[in-house]
Amino acid sequence: MSDSRNDVSRDDAEAAVRTLLRWAGEDPSREGLLDTPKRVAKAYEEWFKGYSLDPDEYMARTFEEVCGYDELIVLRDIEYESHCEHHMAPIIGKVHVGYLPNGKVVGISKLARVVEAYAKRFQVQEKMTAQIANCIQRALQPLGVGVVVEGSHECMTTRGVHKRGVSMITSKMLGSFREDARTRAEFLRFIDVGQGR
């Protein structure tokens, strides 16, 4: 594991954490905080590993032997953890992905990996929703793609307006999911977003 990432040394990253601790009113040299800068740097490696991942690579291997299968493919409830790019607070939720194949499919774990690669970056939910849909569209050239993202934003629940229990839902529909109300309705029925499920 390299001691430097993106032209920033680990020592500089840890010093930045100590600065924030002091700024918050803490003493970074007290016993309970001595290892905090190291822990935070290590957590950042995990939380933001998406910057070192290429979602298009996950989608590179496709399968064309599908015996003419041309119906909807849906993967729902893909859990994700991300961070708001405005406040660096967690966003936690689920992604639902569907596509209408046009001669080729991809392994379902690859769809989950695409979600992970985009989620593990500083994000706004709207952008992440579009990124996932566009990646699937680029790789598979399906007849249509639908992505619905649900997220609870800690930047809204732990600061500012302090509203708990609120979730945001965003969607991106491409091709037949956008143009054909029946395809879109079937997808939305399959994922059954909301509390009633």
The active-site residue, picked from 87, 141, 154, 186, is 87
135: annotated active-site residue: no
162 as an active site residue: the answer is: no
- 85, 141, 154, 186: which one is catalytic? 85
The residue annotated as part of the active site, out of 83, 96, 116, 125, is 125
Helices 36-47/10-24 angle, 10° precision: 110
Q: Which residues of 125-155 are buried (b: 16+ CB within 10 A; e: fewer)?
A: beebbbbbbebbbebbebbbbbbbbbbbbbb
86 is catalytic: yes
Amino acid letter, 34: L
Nearest to 170 by CA among 132, 113, 117: 132
Q: How far from the centroid of its chain's Cα atoms is residue 141's Cα?
A: 21
User: Is 125 considered catalytic here?
Assistant: yes
Burial of 28 (0-12, 13-18, 19+ CB in 10 A): middle
The interaxial angle of helices 125-140 and 108-119, nearest 10 deg, is 140
Catalytic residue among 84, 116, 123, 135: 84
Task: State phi, psi for 173 to the nearest 5 degrees.
Answer: -120, 130
Could you say which of 57, 79, 86, 126 is catalytic? 86
Question: Quick check: is 83 catalytic?
Answer: no
Q: Which of 45, 154, 155, 186 is catalytic?
A: 155
Tallying the residues shown for the chain, one arrives at 197
Establish whether 85 is a catalytic residue: yes
What are the residue numbers of the active site?
84-87, 125, 153, 155
